[in-house]
Amino acid sequence: MSEQTPLLQVKDLQISFQQNKDWKPIVHQVSFDLYPNQILGIVGESGSGKSVSSLAILRLLPENQSKIVGDIVFNGQDLTAFTEEEYRQIRGNKIAMIFQEPMSALNPSMRCGSQVEEMLRLHTNLKGTALKNRVIELFAQVKLPEPVEAYRKYPHQLSGGQKQRVVIAMAIACKPTLLIADEPTTALDVTVQKEIIQLLKALQAETQMAMIFISHDLGLVSSIADEVMVMYRGQVVEKGSTSSVFNAPKERYTQALLAARPSSQVRLQRLPTIQDFVDNQVPTEVISPAERQAAHVQLYAQSPLLVVKDVAKDYISSVGLWSKKTFRALDQINFEVYEGETLGLVGESGCGKSTLGNAILQLDPASSGAIFYQGKDITQLKGKALRALRKDIQIIFQDPFSSLNPKLTVGQAIMEPMIVHRLFGNKKEKKQKVLQLLQQVGLTEEAFDRYPHEFSGGQRQRIGIARTIAVHPKLIICDESVSALDISVQAQVLNLLNELKEQYKFTYIFISHDLAVVKYMSDQVMVMNKGQIEEKGEADALYAHPQKTYTKKLIASILE
């Protein structure tokens, strides 16, 4: 590689943003070279400067609020000297970008085919039928099912993985020499994620383009990149070949990032965090499958806390003049959960995981079947009895920001369920309880008077957890509660959930599409597919010896 001329040279890049009339540096002296036909992986937590650096390369940062210093040389040309008109010839044509969220990257009011045509019209001479044929050809190239039909569809008519393929088709439409993929698989299922990675690798090999692949998922980066650059707080911590960085990381931050990811092979008593590495107290205690099983045998000697029996859920998918069509989201679901147990619930998007969680919570009741909680059929509850149940069965949502009221302070948000359920005495006693909860979830007392927007994603999830446990529930449904978090923050939250479970004897139903995380958390795992239970069993045994083809496919998709 060193004999070649770099396609992209970034030297001493410094990016500052305006904050209260001052310029605050966010990215500090970042330098790297990218060669033709090379994939560079950039990893790091939220706020490390990964995405900001890539947006600076394309000059997509707001000009009046950002300041860029340093050299960005592409194909021998200094991009920092380009006019906006010259940049327009480069963007989408020579340098293309795949954004993190396909739904916001696509125009909901335009058909998918028209959106890709727009890019081709701007940079090529194609017109009419030739233009349409090129789009259909691109859709076939990115392996979109039924490309001719996809051409006519609107984004909302496609699945998440299919939308991302449309975005990829748009990015490669003009055969760019450099493709920047910014967290292109974050919101996708493990199997779809693997398909997208394989697709990007195949497209890169076919077109020989260079690629910058940005992610906080180390497994993904290790499976696609030739070189890796690790960023932390706007600086480059470590750089090198993928094998050297992942197999023999030199810096403690890189070591901590790699260790924080749950392994599907070995189960640690506690996940290592970055703070553990700083303090030189890295946990290494491993739980063997035999120990895990023995510790939970006593749980199954008692009566189950929750029994789900023949539960089905139907939705009306379309209504005609004389008839209506229904869609069966859940089909004859049967299982039991014991007190003190964590039941993991896995499956791809649309399999019915969250629908089942909502049915148990009575937020979206089942169409038929029974759900017994402590021996009582809760599908028959109404009014006061149902409100009383809400105290016992709680939920931790996927997105802590949208589940918290932005107008309420953190203290008010946590105190609210205490007031509703008339717990913990007067206002002063309630406040004392909230301060105690904040401390338990790893936040300081000053958080009480602050608002949700003043916190990071991991801190907001801790606030959400504090609010959930404020009423001392017995059963907690964790619905994708760590999927939006960075690896290191995820490790902290998972450790917290296990500590709280030990302290309060909670029972969890842990819903996720991340199989490594589910295995780490769960005693039993239930695999769902198209509204049905595909397979259920003890976590270590199910992962080691899956019986069903679908489960084998899911487990094979784990990227470590």
Question: DSSP state, 434?
Answer: H
What's the gap between Cα 484 and its chain centre? 4
pLDDT given for residue 559 in this prediction: 63
Query: Do residues 319 and 350 make contact, with C-beta atoms less than 8 angstroms apart?
Result: no
pLDDT given for residue 33 in this prediction: 94
pLDDT given for residue 187 in this prediction: 62
Rounded distance, CA 549 to CA 268, Å? 28
Q: Which helix (H) or strand (E) holds 418?
A: helix 410-420
Amino acid at the residue 153: K
**R_g of the chain, CA atoms, integer Å:** 25
Counting residues of the chain whose pLDDT is more than 90, the rounded percentage is 38
Query: Measuring CA to CA, how many Å separate 104 from each of 25, 216, 524?
Result: 28, 20, 37
Query: Measuring CA to CA, how many Å separate 109 from each of 361, 392, 444?
Result: 35, 43, 45
Which tokens is 514 given?
């991340």
In terms of Cα–Cα distance, which of 32, 490, 488, 489 is closest to 225?
32
248, burial (CB in 10 Å: exposed 0-12, middle 13-18, buried 19+) = exposed
User: Taking the chain (560 residues) in consecutive chunks of 10 residues, what is each chunk's mean pLDDT?
Assistant: 80 88 89 94 85 90 88 92 88 87 81 92 89 92 87 85 86 90 77 83 89 86 92 92 92 86 80 79 76 74 91 81 80 94 88 90 92 93 87 84 85 90 86 90 88 81 89 91 77 89 92 87 92 92 92 81
pLDDT given for residue 321 in this prediction: 66
Which tokens is 51 given?
């995405």
Owner of token pair 């809400």: 390
CATH number of 1-94+212-250: 3.40.50.300
Residues in Cβ contact with 309 at an 8 Å cutoff, skipping those fewer than 6 apart = 334, 369, 370, 371, 372
pLDDT given for residue 486 in this prediction: 75
pLDDT given for residue 252 in this prediction: 87
pLDDT given for residue 73 in this prediction: 94
Rounded distance, CA 459 to CA 486, Å? 12
- Give the 3-state secondary structure of residue 158: coil
Q: Which helix (H) or strand (E) holds 274?
A: helix 274-278
Rounded distance, CA 154 to CA 384, Å? 44
Phi-psi region of 143 (alpha: psi -120 to 50; beta: other; left: phi over 0): left
Tell whether pTM > 0.85: no
pLDDT given for residue 320 in this prediction: 66
Query: Measuring CA to CA, how many Å separate 95 from each of 32, 207, 468?
Result: 17, 14, 46
1-94+212-250 and 292-301+338-365+377-556 agree in CATH topology: yes
Query: Do residues 275 and 259 make contact, with C-beta atoms less than 8 angstroms apart?
Result: no
- Give the 3-state secondary structure of residue 374: coil
pLDDT given for residue 319 in this prediction: 65
Which tokens is 108 given?
């909901």
Residues in Cβ contact with 257 at an 8 Å cutoff, skipping those fewer than 6 apart = 43, 45, 218, 230, 274, 487, 488
Query: Do residues 167 and 105 make contact, with C-beta atoms less than 8 angstroms apart?
Result: yes
Query: What spatial distance separates the first Cα and last Cα of the chain, rounded to whole Å?
Result: 27
- Give the 3-state secondary structure of residue 415: helix
Neighbours of 384 (CB within 10 A): 8
What confidence tens digit (pLDDT) does each residue in 376-389 have?
A: 999 988 888 888 88
Backbone angles phi, psi at 424, to 5 degrees: 65, 40
Angle at 399 between CA 393 and CA 403, to 5 degrees: 60
Counting residues of the chain whose pLDDT is more than 70, the rounded percentage is 97
pLDDT given for residue 115 in this prediction: 93
In the chain, where the domains are located: 1-94+212-250, 292-301+338-365+377-556
Half-sphere exposure of 164 (CA within 13 A, CB side): 23
The CATH number fitting domain 292-301+338-365+377-556, selected from 1.20.1080.10, 3.40.50.300, 3.20.20.80, 3.30.365.10: 3.40.50.300
Question: DSSP state, 286?
Answer: B
pLDDT given for residue 484 in this prediction: 67
Residues in Cβ contact with 139 at an 8 Å cutoff, skipping those fewer than 6 apart = 112, 113, 116, 147, 150, 151, 165, 166, 169
